[in-house]
């Protein structure tokens, strides 16, 4: 085994998951201490400014837009005219919030848009959100603990999922109150349990993915895992579940007309997002924007080229790479790179391939590079708060306004670099496999010639 590893230019590493998790623990402790110290010196602004702010939204006296993806949705779903009002959630998500809206004071549900922040001050609404987050996080921690069992010592495995709750994408998603948290948990259940020995658990995992797709649409891409698993009959059942759970709720609204309205809303939202690229996004559009600002290349053609190349590369790697965590990462990237959903909180889906990565077994030197990328994308990085930037307009014109958001500054670059590294890793592995095949053929031919030359 070691000789083969050396021939492939890679050395097997011992106790690698143990060391990686320990490194994450140490970095988390350092980050936590620095964050608390900075919060003391800035009255909490050093932390608050790292998250979503209302720099693009005017809320008057009602302050920041914290948790409002949840509370806005309760208000929006209180009527069956959601798609006439520009809502982009699929009908299942709207049904979920419609049920919640029936538990809330009708006067709050029908409140004017400019006053919607009042929902976040209501005890019932706050309780609903607290229960929603608690249930999602409880399921997340338990599934992670079960999946990571055996990857490292029990103590390290037990507390890593709890620390991941405080990873930057998770904090960001919770602060937004986005239903993506539930979607990720359902998708995680499918990825972890789709090949479970118990039939009822496998079937439940298919339903979980169908519900996740019904809530956010793009998790449906994980259904491609069924084809690489060569479970074609199960893939058909999964497709049926997905169609039923996604399409039938449209008829709670206006049926086919709602489908058309949702499509138009999504198209408009995607166009709006593409024109507002900033460091809150993790897509390749950010790279094109940086090249435009720093080098002066044309933004539109550069963005189209980089986007197309990255998406095709991710699909190619999904088909060629053999490790499950890499396939799951490639599928996650396909929707992480979409401007309509590529904000910082989308990175919570990286936790799924990260868990598979830690449990994969043998590790090589190149895997340390992958861990560094996971670390940069999931760790909360403490900032240094720059109060002077709030009054210096020139500093706010370009990327300098994000200096108090280190995670945002590096997220897009780190994610895109990780995919590029994986692409060249794929090319290297393909070349190594071809070389091994050629060597095997030459040895076989030599052996045949030797046998033929013997009297």
Instruction: Count Cβ neighbours within 10 Å for each residue of 130-155 and write b for 16 or more, e otherwise.
Output: eebbeebbeebbebbbebbeebbeee
Q: Residue 367 and residue 373: Cα distance in Å, rounded?
A: 10
Distance of alpha carbon 338 from the chain centroid: 11
Based on C-alpha coordinates, what's the Rg of the chain? 24
Helix (H, G, I), strand (E, B) or coil at 16: helix
Mean pLDDT by 10 residues, the chain (455 residues): 44 77 93 90 82 53 70 86 81 92 90 82 93 97 93 86 94 93 97 94 96 94 94 94 92 82 76 70 89 84 92 94 94 91 92 94 88 94 63 42 76 94 89 66 59 58
Q: Which two tokens stand for residue 434?
A: 């071809």
Segments in 379-405 forming alpha helices (H)? 393-396
Q: Which two tokens stand for residue 359?
A: 């449990």
- Is residue 111 left, alpha or beta, with left meaning phi > 0 and alpha meaning psi from -120 to 50? beta
Q: Which two tokens stand for residue 94?
A: 């709207």
Report yes or no: 67 and 175 within 8 Å, Cβ to Cβ.
yes
Q: Which two tokens stand for residue 161?
A: 């999922």
pLDDT of residue 443: 61
pLDDT of residue 116: 81
pLDDT of residue 76: 86
pLDDT of residue 438: 61
Nearest to 218 by CA among 336, 312, 303: 336
pLDDT of residue 403: 63
pLDDT of residue 12: 64
Q: Which two tokens stand for residue 87?
A: 């809502």
């Amino acid at each position: 085994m070691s000789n083969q590893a050396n021939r492939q230019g890679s050395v097997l590493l011992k106790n690698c998951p143990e060391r990686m998790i320990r490194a994450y623990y140490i970095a988390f402790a350092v980050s936590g201490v620095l964050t608390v110290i900075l919060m003391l010196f800035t009255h909490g602004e050093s932390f608050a400014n790292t998250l979503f702010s209302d720099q693009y939204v005017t809320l008057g006296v009602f302050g920041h837009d914290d948790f409002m993806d949840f509370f806005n949705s309760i208000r929006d779903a209180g009527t069956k005219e959601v798609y006439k009002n520009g809502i982009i959630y699929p009908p299942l998500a709207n049904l979920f919030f419609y049920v919640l809206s029936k538990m809330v004071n009708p006067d709050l549900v029908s409140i004017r848009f400019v006053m919607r922040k009042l929902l976040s001050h209501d005890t019932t609404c706050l309780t609903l959100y607290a229960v929603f987050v608690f249930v999602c996080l409880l399921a997340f921690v338990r599934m992670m603990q079960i999946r990571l069992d055996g990857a490292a010592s029990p103590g390290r495995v037990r507390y890593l999922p709890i620390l991941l709750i405080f990873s930057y994408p998770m904090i960001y998603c919770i602060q937004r109150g986005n239903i993506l948290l539930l979607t990720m948990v359902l998708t995680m259940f499918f990825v972890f349990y789709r090949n479970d020995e118990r039939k009822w658990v496998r079937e439940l995992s298919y339903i979980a993915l169908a519900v996740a797709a019904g809530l956010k649409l793009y998790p449906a891409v994980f259904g491609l895992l069924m084809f690489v698993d060569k479970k074609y009959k199960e893939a058909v059942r999964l497709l049926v579940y997905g169609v039923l759970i996604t399409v039938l709720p449209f008829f709670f609204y206006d049926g086919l007309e709602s489908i058309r309205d949702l499509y138009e809303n999504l198209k408009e939202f995607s166009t709006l997002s593409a024109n507002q690229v900033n460091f809150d996004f993790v897509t390749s559009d950010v790279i094109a924007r940086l090249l435009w600002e720093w080098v002066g290349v044309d933004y539109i053609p550069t963005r189209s080229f980089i986007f197309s190349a990255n998406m095709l590369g991710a699909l190619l790697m999904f088909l060629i790479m053999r490790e499950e965590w890499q396939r799951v990462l490639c599928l996650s990237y396909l929707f992480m790179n979409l401007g309509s959903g590529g904000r910082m909180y989308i990175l919570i889906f990286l936790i799924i391939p990260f868990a598979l990565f830690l449990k994969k077994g043998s590790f090589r030197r190149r895997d340390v590079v992958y861990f560094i990328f996971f670390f940069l994308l999931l760790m909360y990085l403490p900032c240094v708060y720059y109060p002077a930037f709030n009054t210096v307009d020139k500093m706010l014109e370009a990327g300098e306004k994000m200096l108090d958001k280190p995670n945002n500054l590096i997220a897009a670059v780190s994610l895109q670099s990780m995919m590029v590294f994986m692409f060249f890793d794929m090319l290297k592995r393909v070349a190594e496999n071809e070389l091994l095949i050629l060597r095997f053929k030459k040895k076989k031919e030599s052996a045949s010639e030797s046998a033929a030359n013997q009297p």
